[in-house]
Structure 1
Amino acid sequence: MTEQPTDPTAPDVTTEAVNDDPQAAQPGAAADEQETPTEGTAADEVADAGVGQAAPETDLAAERLADLQRLQAEYVNYKRRVDRDRVEVKQSAVVEVLTGLLPVLDEIHLAREHGDVVDGPFKAITDKLEAALGKYGLVPFGAVGEPFDPTQHEALMHAEWNPDDENLPSDATTTTVVTVLQPGFKAGDRVLRAARVAVADPT
């Protein structure tokens, strides 16, 4: 076997030196380690870019949410107002009809005072009419012996106190109703007409 000539100027390389130096055994390792990019650099750049783009969208979503909440509040207030107005309109219509029928009820009251509403068809008609009006909250009030109340009674006469009148309370100490000229009427808590009465002061 022919021996290769040796170059006297070449450095001496021994097997031990190569085995002792890992980088020498892997000549590309150092280069690869230097070329490896810093971890997270590209991801951070993408994240930073995303943050800048998401902020306007977040502000727009918050603005739209505020608009929606304002519209919902306006709708709730509108519905409440409409419901309240509907009830008031209905009550006003009922009160107007009942007020228009008060003269008829006054005639029935006078007929009853004169003994004309005792029996027969007329009594049946008056009973049905008063029952029908009662379903709409119409209630008559005013009776002999009640203490005079200016919010409930309209005093048209001032009479003498009659201690023998069994309808008058014996222990009355204030002005008292002694005669009901026209009964008063209420629709619920609303006074349609005060009772027109004659009053007297106990002696």
Structure 2
Amino acid sequence: MAEGMDRRDFLASSAVVPALPFLGQLPVVAAQEAQVQPQLVRFEDGIEPLVRLIEETPAERLLEEVARRIKKGTSYRQLLAALFLAGVRNIPPRPNVGFKFHAVLVIHSAHQAALAGPDRDRWLPLFWCLDYFKRAQGQAIREGGWRMKPVAEGRVPAAEQAQTAFREAMTRWDEEAADGAAAALARHVPVHEAFELFAHFAARDFRD
């Protein structure tokens, strides 16, 4: 970011210019309202309509539609969760993590930027991410389309076998078995233990 350029100047020079006129009309977000817990990011009936709005609304209309939802009561936490879930469900992470998938990876950084900013500016990083998501989604569609499939329950190992199954699948480079084992980890293994497993294999090859 150029010296002397604040958040609003930066966003005014980006692709979210059409959103700026109504961003100032959105409610401020207090710091405590922006704090989140891991259980927030789950596909549930309550969040699904907002996820579908992000997925299905054309890029040129999305920012205004989301602003309308916020004015009607959609919270910062709900928008953050829906944005993350839309990205996970629509942006392919393979064969190479990065490129389009940055639209998902950047959400955490955007959230941290929002937490560090003043109350009145906390929506700005999320609107930038919405715009980024639609561009990445459009690229994915042009390349043939991709959507995350439901978990193949027949490939999900029992809780006590989750860690071993994950290690074995990753060692074999068995994508389908690793997906099933990862689902078991998410359901049964503490986050810090799952992170250690993923970190071990993530360092193995930059393509992962």
Whichever of the two has the greater Rg, that structure is 1
Query: How high is the TM-score relative to the length of structure 2?
Result: 0.21
Query: How high is the TM-score relative to the length of structure 1?
Result: 0.22
Higher RCO (CA-CA < 8 Å; seq separation 6+): 2
Higher helix share: 2
Higher strand share: 1
